[in-house]
């Protein structure tokens, strides 16, 4: 399977602070890749940098991002504008604010069609917008509604409808449902996954709620302090996470099915970008830390087929 999106050795800085360190990840066609990690671990930064949406002072000092063989980071603004939303669309973190409050949702969907499909006539565009709304289960007469007239769940559905408007290859979902209640969250995610099956796009699903990830994604990458520390199929992560941080994350959420586990959580607080500890960045909080952990950084190594871990416990060289 050839990846639709391939991130190679990407680093991201905010001014002089490094927020993402040498991340390599790939997204296969039709796949749901989950990105997990505590707040501040660099999930959004990674996603925005890979899609060239990073705002100053954020910038990319090194790395490459390939979309179907084209390096996104070296595209011109013009080439990029054509590619945006056509190929990669995004459902944003905090969707409460992701819709323009002074323009009707219909016009916001229409904006996309008008820009990217200049040959579509107005009635066609309206028909398409209606079709999109019904796709996500919103009555088509809400086309003229303004965001403040819709519930949080409906706004999020509108965002999803908009994200699918041009039938993109990749949809990035950054905490798409954080502000919604659990029932609505699952409804929306379930719907998204069904749409993926019929339309065939790939998803990057970002959240710090690892139980949602386990339920909805195929593969999960766990980030800590701007690095990927473990990457494996979702079922493997759930069954037997190898990195002590992944184990900690999993144990901070109640199990979905099967035997209940003890909720332990992770002691301590996420690392500060300005003073990253030497060695393994997780060692001050790690229950299994060894001497080497405080001295040398473990690199992300394949430990099994389709599984990578950055931890000295897994490194055969130690």
Ligand X SMILES: Nc1ncnc2c1ncn2[C@@H]1O[C@H](COP(=O)(O)OP(=O)(O)OP(=O)(O)O)[C@@H](O)[C@H]1O
In the complex, which residues of this chain contact ligand X (CB under 6 A)? 14, 19, 37, 39-45, 57-58, 93, 208, 273
Q: What value, to the nearest 5°, has the Cα angle with vertex 67 and ends 189 and 219?
A: 40
Smallest distance from ligand SF4 to CB 22, Å: 16
Using the rule CB under 8 A, which residue among 57, 71, 82, 299 binds another protein?
82
Q: Which does 199 bind (CB under 5 to 8 A by kind): ligand X, another protein, Mg ion, none?
A: none
CA distances from 300 to 4, 209, 228, 238, 267 (A): 22, 23, 7, 19, 23
Using the rule CB under 8 A, which residue among 23, 83, 138, 213 binds another protein?
83
CA distances from 26 to 13, 68, 116, 129, 288 (A): 21, 11, 27, 32, 29
E-state strands within 170-314: 170-174, 202-206, 219-224, 227-233, 301-304, 307-309
Q: Which does 92 bind (CB under 5 to 8 A by kind): Mg ion, ligand SF4, another protein, none?
A: another protein
Cβ 145 vs Cβ 86: under 8 Å: no
Tokens standing for 32? 């749901």
Using the rule CB under 8 A, which residue among 22, 86, 140, 178 binds another protein?
86
Smallest distance from ligand X to CB 42, Å: 4
**Taking Cα atoms as reference points, which of 135, 136, 133, 129 lies closest to residue 114?**
129
- Phi, psi for 32 (deg, rounded to 5): -110, 110
Smallest distance from Mg ion to CB 46, Å: 9
Strands 170-174 and 17-28: unpaired
| Stretch of 50-58, 195-203, 235-243, 301-309 contacting another protein, by CB under 8 A | 50-58
Q: Which does 42 bind (CB under 5 to 8 A by kind): another protein, Mg ion, ligand X, none?
A: ligand X
Smallest distance from ligand SF4 to CB 23, Å: 17
Helices (H), 164-291: 182-199, 210-216, 234-240, 244-251
Residue closer to ligand X by CB (options 37, 176) is: 37
Smallest distance from ligand SF4 to CB 226, Å: 15
Helices (H), the chain: 43-50, 77-83, 105-116, 122-135, 152-163, 182-199, 210-216, 234-240, 244-251
Q: Which does 45 bind (CB under 5 to 8 A by kind): another protein, Mg ion, ligand X, none?
A: ligand X
Smallest distance from ligand X to CB 174, Å: 7
Q: What is the layout of strands, in order, in the sheet containing 70-71?
A: 17-28, 3-14, 58-67, 70-71
Smallest distance from another protein to CB 265, Å: 29
Query: Does residue 44 interact with Mg ion by CB under 5 A?
Result: yes
Site string for another protein, 95-124 (x = CB under 8 A): x-xxxxxxxx------xx--xx--------
**Taking Cα atoms as reference points, which of 200, 217, 171, 189 lies closest to residue 51?**
171
Residues interacting with ligand SF4, by CB under 6 A? 243-244, 280, 282-283, 286, 288-290, 293, 298, 311-313
Interaction site with another protein (CB under 8 A): 51, 53, 55, 80-86, 89-90, 92-95, 97-104, 111-112, 115-116, 146, 148-149, 159, 162
């Amino acid at each position: 399977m050839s990846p639709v999106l391939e991130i190679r050795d990407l680093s991201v800085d905010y001014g002089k602070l490094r927020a993402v360190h040498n991340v390599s990840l790939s997204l296969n066609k039709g796949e749901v890749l989950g990105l997990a990690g505590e707040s501040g671990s660099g999930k959004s930064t990674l996603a925005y940098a890979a899609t060239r949406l990073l705002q100053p002072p954020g910038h990319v000092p090194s790395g490459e991002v390939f979309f179907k063989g084209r390096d996104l980071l070296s595209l011109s603004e013009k080439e990029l504008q054509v590619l945006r939303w056509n190929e990669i669309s995004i459902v944003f973190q905090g969707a409460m604010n992701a819709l323009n409050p002074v323009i009707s949702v219909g016009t916001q969907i229409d904006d996309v069609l008008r820009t990217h499909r200049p040959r579509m006539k107005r009635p066609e565009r309206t028909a398409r917008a209606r079709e999109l709304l019904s796709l996500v289960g919103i009555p088509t007469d809400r086309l003229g509604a303004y965001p403040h007239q819709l519930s949080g769940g409906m706004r999020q559905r509108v965002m999803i409808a908009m994200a699918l408007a041009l039938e993109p290859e990749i949809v990035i979902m950054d905490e798409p449902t954080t502000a919604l209640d659990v029932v609505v969250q699952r409804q929306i995610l379930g719907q998204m996954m069904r749409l993926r099956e019929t339309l065939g796009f790939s998803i990057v699903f970002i959240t710090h709620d690892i139980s949602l990830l386990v339920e909805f994604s195929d593969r999960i990458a766990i980030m800590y302090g701007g690095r990927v520390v473990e990457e494996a199929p979702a079922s493997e992560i759930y069954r037997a996470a190898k990195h002590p941080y992944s184990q900690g994350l999993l144990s901070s959420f109640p199990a979905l099915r099967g035997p209940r586990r003890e909720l332990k959580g992770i002691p301590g607080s996420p690392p500060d970008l300005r003073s990253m500890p030497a060695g393994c960045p997780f060692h001050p909080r790690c229950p299994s830390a060894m001497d080497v952990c405080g001295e040398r950084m473990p690199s992300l190594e394949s430990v099994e087929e389709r599984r990578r871990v950055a931890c000295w416990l897994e490194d055969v060289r130690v």
